[in-house]
Amino acid sequence: MGAQIIDGKAFAAKVRGQVADHVARLKSDHGITPGLAVVLVGEDPASQVYVRSKGKMTVEVGMNSYEHKLDPDTSEADLLALIAQLNTDPEVHGILVQLPLPKHLDEDLVINSIDPAKDVDGFHISNVGLLGTGQKSMVPCTPLGCLMMLREYHGSLSGMDAVVIGRSNIVGKPMAQLLLGDSCTVTIAHSRTRDLPDVVRRADIVVAAVGRPEMVPGDWIKPGATVIDVGINRVDAGESKTRLVGDCDYDSCAEVAGAITPVPGGVGPMTIACLLANTVTACCRANGVAEPEGLTA
């Protein structure tokens, strides 16, 4: 077990502390309290847990939290009307619509109806385009959290070989953009990639974001490489219990890697910390206040 464990839980607590400092300053110097609205459609138990945890941490850092829980059969028109109202509400600086949405709702349409300046998930096409062209944008929380941990551990990422496994709009693609922005040589691998093990073996940085429990074994990892495990998979643990595992086989990867993020306690907590950071950033931009340093890409 040679790898250093990158403690996402501790790092996230530090980021939330920085966010809390900025929130306090916004209140005392400008009379502004950042506000985050979270919209949950339906009753998916996992989503309810995440939304509760986001609301709790939002309040802990001193921000206002607005939770909107809608029936699973909410019409698209009603959801769009709520978003339109949040878009114009001056107390709301960030809007997050929990994904996935029930199947009768058009996810792209809904996301693109959010004011890009309040799109703290960074999923709006306008933010995607800004990120892709290296312009100031709202950056998706999970990739931003991964980037922060990589920068903290390595300092500069310039010239490193990075392989991102997974090509989702939520993690894989924006992660690749951020790594490219930090001058990595970036490969995006996916289910059709030929010789995936060999592709991964070239990487100094491996970001696994496929959503398949423990699919990356240690013998795919170059000795000393840094492994960022984005997967959060709930698997059967016997005796009608479940446990969380990542996309990497932790024990075998930790034997070879130089550093690795655990699941739980790695990327997950950083995602929520970055959501709070994005909300402060959005609030500062909306009010012409200097935005916090080190909390954006």
Ligand X SMILES: Nc1nc(=O)c2c([nH]1)NC[C@@H]1CN(c3ccc(C(=O)N[C@@H](CCC(=O)O)C(=O)O)cc3)C=[N+]21
9 included as an active-site residue: no
Q: Which is nearer to ligand X, 256 or 272 (CB)?
A: 272
Which of 62, 116, 145, 269 lies at the binding interface for ligand X (CB under 6 A)? 269
Residues 18, 98, 204, 249: which is the catalytic one?
A: 98
Stretch that binds ligand X, among 21-29, 73-81, 95-103, 253-261 (CB under 6 A): 95-103
Is residue 162 part of the contact set for ligand X (CB under 6 A)? no
Stretch that binds ligand X, among 84-92, 145-153, 253-261, 267-275 (CB under 6 A): 267-275
Q: What is the CA radius of gyration of the chain?
A: 19
Give the nearest distance from C-beta 1 to ligand X in angstroms: 20
Is residue 265 part of the contact set for ligand X (CB under 6 A)? yes
Q: Which is nearer to ligand X, 200 or 263 (CB)?
A: 263
48 included as an active-site residue: no
* Residue list, annotated binding site for NADP(+): 166-168, 232
Burial of 223 (0-12, 13-18, 19+ CB in 10 A): exposed
Q: What residues make contact with ligand X under the rule CB under 6 A?
A: 50, 96-99, 121, 141, 232, 244, 263-265, 268-269, 271-272
